[in-house]
Chain A
Amino acid sequence: GAGVSQTPSNKVTEKGKYVELRCDPISGHTALYWYRQSLGQGPEFLIYFQGTGAADDSGLPNDRFFAVRPEGSVSTLKIQRTERGDSAVYLCASSSGWTGANEQYFGPGTRLTVT
């Protein structure tokens, strides 16, 4: 079946602009995660959803970052007033449950470049 998909694959935006990054999880997966991977680093956790609600948003760096999952499937990560330091690959993952044993399946990521 289809895996996790993310759009766009690449996004270039100017400093100060607003961007939206989309994640389509594997069908039926109830848990969804966002990570950010800066150049030369491992992914860092941003937020995760159980169904429609954000169960843990402790990784969001500041109030410019916001994520939604209104119907419990597709999620959108929103970044306001982008800064050059926001440039990174944003990875989305989904899993069939939210226990520790459930494997997280990752999408190919969106590379965000802020000029």
Chain B
Amino acid sequence: AQTVTQSQPEMSVQEAETVTLSCTYDTSESNYYLFWYKQPPSRQMILVIRQEAYKQQNATENRFSVNFQKAAKSFSLKISDSQLGDTAMYFCALKGGATNKLIFGTGTLLAVQP
């Protein structure tokens, strides 16, 4: 079975500061993908960043970067220069092997304070 665990139900950060959201996962697949999705109050899930497991280099998208530790099965998201618009639920997700379904964690509610 594939699982995703997010142990931080809520986080808070000051505007312009840096915050890191944690995620651990478990899979027996050798070929898999990891994702961070953002879900604002509008409910629309938006892809923030993606990491292919076979790539050793950590993915980066502007202010968003990941720390992918394959041996530890850890996939954390770092948000630099936090903005008020970053306030949302953040979900870590896994897609492994031949299946195309996403396995989500329970989410972390991030509040960016002015």
Q: CB within 8 Å of B: which residues of A? A: 31, 33, 35, 40-45, 48, 55-56, 59, 89, 91, 93, 95, 98-109, 111
Q: Contacts A100-B33, A106-B45, A107-B44 hold; do A41 and B106 have CB atoms under 8 A apart?
A: yes
Q: Is the CB of B62 closer than 8 A to any CB of chain A?
A: no
CB neighbours of A106 from chain B (8 A) = 37, 44-46
Q: A48-B101, A56-B100 are in contact. Are A42 and B91 (CB under 8 A)?
A: yes
B residues near A40, Cβ cutoff 8 Å:
106
A-B CB contact pairs (8 Å), 24 listed? A33-B100, A40-B106, A42-B91, A42-B105, A42-B106, A44-B104, A45-B102, A45-B103, A56-B99, A59-B101, A89-B43, A91-B43, A100-B31, A100-B32, A100-B33, A100-B96, A101-B33, A102-B100, A103-B47, A104-B47, A106-B46, A108-B42, A108-B44, A111-B43
Q: Which of B33, B37, B95, B102 has the most CB atoms of chain A within a 10 A radius of its CB?
A: B102
Return chain A residues, CB-CB under 8 Å to B47: 103-105
Given contacts A106-B45, A108-B42, A108-B44, contact A42 B100 (CB under 8 A): no
| Contact (Cβ within 8 A) A43 B42 | no
Instruction: Tell me the smallest distance from the CB of A54 to a CB of chain B, in Å.
Output: 12
Question: Among A41, A100, A108, which residue has its beta carbon within 8 angstroms of that of B100?
Answer: A100
- Cβ contacts under 8 Å, B96 to chain A: 100
CB distance from B102 to the nearest CB of A (A): 7
Residues in A whose Cβ lies below 8 Å from that of B99: 56
A101-B33, A106-B45, A108-B44 known; A43-B102 Cβ under 8 A: yes
Chain B hits for A33, CB < 8 A:
100-102
Of all chain A residues, which has the CB nearest B47? A103
Residues on the B chain within 8 Å of A101, using CB: 33, 52
CA A72 to CA B95, docked complex, whole Å: 23
